[in-house]
Amino acid sequence: MKLPRDLSGGDLAKALRKFEYQITRQTGSHLRLTTRQHGEHHVTIPTHHSLRVGTLSGILQIVADHFQLPREEIIRRLFGK
């Protein structure tokens, strides 16, 4: 499955709610999200209007590593239909 090309940081934060990530703070143009599933985990995402594909891919890999799932499964759960 291809990554979305026009996803904003805010949209990604909303999508990550499926994994119980919640915004815990904002510093400048970055959001810090935290989940307590599978142990406490933090991820920081920029709030840019359109995330670069490499940035999005890296964030999704960090989430996949935490949940011990393949990155493709994370993408399917977040953006699949």
Task: Kindly list the domain boundaries of the chain, sorted by start residue.
Answer: 9-79
Helix (H) or strand (E) holding 31: strand 30-35
Could you read off the pLDDT of 16-56 as tens digits, one per residue?
A: 999 999 999 999 999 999 999 999 999 999 998 899 999 99
Q: Global pTM?
A: 0.91
Which residue, 81, 52, 55, 66, is CA-closest to 20? 66
2-14: pLDDT as tens digits: 888 899 999 999 9
Helix axes 71-79 and 53-67, enclosed angle (nearest 10):
110
How far apart are the C-alpha atoms of 1 and 31, rounded to whole Å? 26
Tell the CATH superfamily of the 9-79 domain: Hypothetical protein. (3.30.920.30)
